[in-house]
Structure 1
Amino acid sequence: MSDPAVALLMLGLFICFIFLGFPIAFTLMAMGVGFGFYAYYNPALHFWDNNIFFLMVQNTYSVMSNDVLISIPLFLFMGYIIERSNILEKLFESLQIAMRKIPGSMGVAALVTCALFATATGIVGAVVTLMGLLALPSMLKAGYDKKLSSGIIAAGGTLGILIPPSIMLIVYAATAGVSVVKLYAAALLPGFLLAGLYLIYIVARVIVNPSLAPKRTDSDHVTFWQGFKLLLTAFFPLAFLIVAVLGSILFGLATPSEAAAMGALGGVVLSVAYGAFTWDRLRESVYLTAKTSAMVCWLFVGSWTFSSVFSYLGGEGVIEHFVLSLNLSTVEFLIMAQIIIFILGWPLEWSEIIIIFVPIFLPMLAVFDVDPLLFGLLIAINLQTSFLTPPMAMSAYYLKGVAPPGVELWDIFKGCFPFLGMVLMTLVLVYVYPQIVSYLPDLLYNQPIKADDGPLPEGVIDPSFFMQTN
């Protein structure tokens, strides 16, 4: 067999092992080392002098010393400690009261709570599970339609992988070699657009059919001041923490790693303020952070080893030549890539898709004149569908695991379908109007400095510094 044929065999075997349920990170490393030993084999050298072993060590060191990845465990710790701070119930209740005049107020409050909590934690399963335990029974008890209620929670919980400070965006930035800061700026408008479409759908659906979400009357006695006090103690602290972390990154006041460190400290402070801080919860948060961070890092090590050998054998060139031979336009290439990502989203987690398969497309972006920021955001929006599309809709399964009796899996699937339509609508809008992605990065970071502007004032940091270091 020729080397490119061996590379394609390598890729095919890897996909087979995925479906057989082997651990992905260690499968990547094992296949990278195994096929790499063949690729770099030199009969004149000793067994241990094969270059694949040096490559493995070098990749491991590169991942563990990558400055961009430092922010991942810090953001994870911030999410886990906030998750255990007992803020969710107060947050949901305060938003219900504040929005009680809006049609479908409990649904709107549930979506905003999901979005805010998902943004703070970045952990889809945790958000959907907690909201399924807290909000879904309350909505059903109030007479809300079970399909609408289920769809709101399942869709709202996935927004955390799109809206900054998203861990998924950090992983994509490290994989694609783009600025985390620019990527965060690029993600804001698409994230708010999708969340806005969700909100419009909920309100419009309830206006058209009020029986789906009966109006609450048990909070009519609450005064404005009481509602504001609830928001002051539940909504504003978490919102301020997220805005402070994100704002310090976007405006060049801190690197993502520094902002993540402050966010982790802020999470601990919130936990103490709500009387939820204990050493057991701290230990559990640290353990989960270490476990998840190790998974991401070893995925990077395995993926870089696998892709290095795959490219060395000529596999990447074969795929690129095949795609270019199709004579696709830029739009057709993007659609093809998104269809492949959509299909991969059924059996795989987002981390595996970003680290393993996205690098196959990255070398072709320059050929088709595609901005890596735009490509990354299209993937982030697309991956919303992987959590909501049957038969492998993980958000639906998370929710079903905690749903009250009477809520069937098919009810949750049917509740997700309208939100899937809005994800696809957002994808189309970003395709047609890429300025949705590029506007904020261009506004914040790509403004040319005129010659007569003079040096920056003392103490002001040039944001371009962070474009180079992050």
Structure 2
Amino acid sequence: MEYLALILFVLVCLVLMLGYPVAYALAGTALLFASVCALFGAFDMAYLHAMPSRLYGIMTNQTLLAVPLFVFMGMMLEKSKVAEHLLAAMSQVFGRFRGGLAISVILVGMLMAASTGIVGATVVTMGLLSLPSMLKRGYHPSFATGCICATGTLGQIIPPSIALVLLGDVLSNAYQQAQLNMGIFSPDSVSVGDLFVGAMIPGLLLVGLYLTYVLFSARLRPHWFEDAHEARNAMRVKPLLMALLPPLTLMLLVLGSILAGLATPTEAAGVGAMGAIVLALLAKQLSLQTLKDVMLGTTKVTSMVFLILIGASVFSLVFRGLGGETLIEDFFSALPGGVFGAMLLVMLVIFLLGFILDFIEITFVVVPIVGPVLLAMGIDPVWLGIMIAVNLQTSFLTPPFGFALFYLRGVAPASVRTADMYKGVIPFIGIQLMLLVMLAVWPALVTWLPDTLYG
């Protein structure tokens, strides 16, 4: 009967490629397939009796409450023009160096990622603010667009990241399922806070690799960059501090409270949402219409996430009822290379699925299927979560379906060719794959900080 689970997975992929909404494609295809199989005695409908408890668990999940709060925080910061002030101040500091504007874009993108955690908002904001300036100063279009797209995806790995919040919840369920499969009954789970802490060193390392690439490119291809003598104005310290203080304060409140153990990620998200309102108020960007727009946008994004989660829960129950979990476990056990072979295959599948699916669909569909099997093989759950997050980040850049490319294409001038954007992201994809290899060779890059802080 296990082969039916494979047919179901292929059918869902086909329905998604036809353009149907993800949530309806997952739930609808799974329910129809289960009904047909039940008519022939190939599926026990008792599996679907667990659906009400699953839905109740989603509704009462305190971890998932962080999603609308972080989304609200990111959208409110976008309205408060924090990125605009940051970019102007950073450009003044680094504009005196060749490639200085690109360095400024990466650093501002890092701070925005640590303040918002939303990839789309960061890419669009940085595209609107920095792309015209970069093109005007003589940057090659492919390098400028590649730099902006790659910088925007930092929100995928640098906490507080929406992707890490969702991954933390899914991996927690997968970890408990893996323990039950092994006959172990333990209250231990994977927390979002662990993923946040584990992502800090890889996130900073990725920023360092980006900056290194910019510096080497400026030296090897100076004609791709602006003339350094164009911006040698005296640096003013006060505007720089005024621009840096708001996002740094918010980062300290959100991440600092989590690292210090003073707040859970959900509580810290509430602090961040309130802090974003205060920053917008201080920047004189808060109005009733702004608040209405942010709340409406937050409701739309949150509804999309939770609807996909419900659809994925239906799919997961049917897939498990058809013996899909046993099929995956037997397949991984038969792979050459053991744990390494299984992990390599999962990373490759997630990378390829990133061409056609969003990180939310991959998180809710693929991770619950492979997660329990990989964790039962002894893989560290925090390391697995960060590896998946970096891999999903790569999918944002991969042509032709990279979502960061679509976001930037929507705000880029017509003079910038799509082919230039594709060429520009290739080196940054290579950098992200390099980071994946580094994390695979040295898992301590992920696990050292959580182990040090939490034992």
In the superposition, the TM-score normalised over structure 1's length comes to 0.89
User: Which residue of the partner structure matches residue 220 of structure 1?
Assistant: 232
Instruction: Give the stretch that moved more between structures: 353-362 or 214-223.
Output: 214-223
User: Which residue of the partner structure matches residue 187 of structure 2?
Assistant: none
User: Which residue of the partner structure matches residue 188 of structure 1?
Assistant: 200
Letter of the 2:80 counterpart:
S
Distance, in Å, in 2 between the alignment partners of 1:208 and 1:16 is 45
Q: CA deviation at 1:404?
A: 2.1
Closer, same or farther: CA 72–7 of 1 in aligned 2, 3 Å: same
Aligned pairs for 1:67-106 (under 5 A) are: 67-106=62-101
User: Which residue of the partner structure matches residue 55 of structure 2?
Assistant: 60
Letter of the 2:443 counterpart:
P
The answer to whether the 8 A contact 2:149-2:397 is kept is yes
Q: Show CA shifts across 1:18-69 (max 9, x none).
A: 11111111222223333444667799xxxxxx64664332221110111110
1:197 matches 2:206:
no
Q: Show CA shifts across 1:410-434 (max 9, x none).
A: 1111111111111111011111111
User: Which residue of the partner structure matches residue 271 of structure 1?
Assistant: 280
User: Which residue of the partner structure matches residue 288 of structure 1?
Assistant: 297
Q: 2:3 aligns with which of 2, 5, 14?
A: 5
User: Which residue of the partner structure matches residue 153 of structure 2?
Assistant: 158
Query: What is the number of equivalent residue pairs in this alignment?
Result: 436
Q: 2:111 aligns with which of 116, 119, 123?
A: 116
User: Which residue of the partner structure matches residue 437 of structure 2?
Assistant: 428
Distance, in Å, in 2 between the alignment partners of 1:292 and 1:395 is 17
Q: Point out where structure 1 has 5 or more consecutive residues left out of the alignment.
A: 44-49, 447-470
User: Which residue of the partner structure matches residue 30 of structure 1?
Assistant: 28
Letter of the 1:19 counterpart:
M
Aligned pairs for 1:347-366 (under 5 A) are: 347-366=356-375
Q: CA deviation at 1:367?
A: 4.2
Q: Point out where structure 2 has 5 or more consecutive residues left out of the alignment.
A: 173-189
Q: Show CA shifts across 1:58-96 (max 9, x none).
A: 221110111110111101100011111122221101011
The answer to whether the 8 A contact 1:155-1:416 is kept is yes
User: Which residue of the partner structure matches residue 405 of structure 1?
Assistant: 414
Instruction: Give the stretch that moved more between structures: 54-63 or 208-217.
Output: 208-217
Supply the RMSD in Å over aligned alpha carbons. Answer: 2.0
Q: CA deviation at 1:305?
A: 1.9
Q: 2:243 aligns with which of 226, 229, 234?
A: 234
Letter of the 1:434 counterpart:
P
1:147 matches 2:142:
yes
User: Which residue of the partner structure matches residue 261 of structure 2?
Assistant: 252
Q: 2:447 aligns with which of 433, 438, 462?
A: 438
Q: Show CA shifts across 1:181-222 (max 9, x none).
A: 111111001111111100111012112332222234454232
Distance, in Å, in 1 between the alignment partners of 2:348 and 2:224 is 34
Q: Percent identity?
A: 39
User: Which residue of the partner structure matches residue 171 of structure 2?
Assistant: 176
The answer to whether the 8 A contact 1:342-1:386 is kept is yes
Closer, same or farther: CA 100–64 of 1 in aligned 2, 3 Å: same
Q: CA deviation at 1:361?
A: 1.2
Letter of the 1:368 counterpart:
M
The answer to whether the 8 A contact 2:66-2:265 is kept is yes
Q: CA deviation at 1:345?
A: 0.1
Distance, in Å, in 2 between the alignment partners of 1:332 and 1:122 is 32
Aligned pairs for 1:285-434 (under 5 A) are: 285-434=294-443
The answer to whether the 8 A contact 1:378-1:427 is kept is yes
Distance, in Å, in 1 between the alignment partners of 2:171 and 2:219 is 44
Q: CA deviation at 1:15?
A: 1.2
Letter of the 2:441 counterpart:
V
Letter of the 2:233 counterpart:
H
Instruction: Give the stretch that moved more between structures: 393-402 or 104-113.
Output: 393-402
Q: CA deviation at 1:393?
A: 2.0
Instruction: Give the structure with higher Rg (CA).
Output: 1
Letter of the 1:154 counterpart:
C
Q: Show CA shifts across 1:423-456 (max 9, x none).
A: 111011111111100110010001xxxxxxxxxx
- Name the SS for the 1:67 alignment partner: coil
In the superposition, the TM-score normalised over structure 2's length comes to 0.91
Distance, in Å, in 1 between the alignment partners of 2:414 and 2:5 is 50
Q: Show CA shifts across 1:125-183 (max 9, x none).
A: 22212211210110111112222111110100001010000110110110010111111
Letter of the 1:80 counterpart:
M
- Name the SS for the 1:221 alignment partner: coil
Distance, in Å, in 2 between the alignment partners of 1:127 and 1:105 is 19
Q: CA deviation at 1:16?
A: 1.1
